[in-house]
Amino acid sequence: MKVKIKRWNAVATWRWDLPEDDLCGICQNPFDNTCPACKYPGDDCILCEFHTACGYQRNGHCILEWMKQDSAKGQCPMCRQSKLVGCPFLQQFV
């Protein structure tokens, strides 16, 4: 007995199974991990809280690395439309 497939209807679905806001949008590391730029938990980081119109609020070395890139243009790493405000240190990169 031979079977011949006349039609194939493939269906696929996926979703991110991650809790919201548990990963940094830049380095993709969990927020409760040590900062990737620091060697040990509790090392002194340059921490600047910044705010954007899209509501993205983070601090640490990741945003500083983001702002040093020419492609950043002073924009939010998540929505790419808002200007970052709130930290005097970040203003040198805007």
Dist CA 10 CA 2 (whole Å):
22
Domain count of the fold of the chain:
1
- The backbone torsions φ and ψ at residue 23, rounded to the nearest 5 degrees and listed phi first, read -120, 145
User: Can you give the residue range of the structural domain that contains 33?
Assistant: 18-94
The answer to whether residues 58 and 65 touch, using CB atoms and an 8 Å cutoff, is no
Q: Is residue 7 part of a domain?
A: no
CATH label of the domain that carries residue 94: 3.30.40
Q: 2 lies in a domain?
A: no
Domain presence at residue 27? yes
Model pLDDT for residues 21-63, shown as the tens digit of each residue? 667 777 777 766 666 677 665 555 655 555 565 665 565 677 7
More confident residue, 71 or 43: 71
What is this structure's pTM?
0.49
Tell me the sheet residues that pair with 85.
51
CA–CA dist 94, 59 (Å, integer) = 16
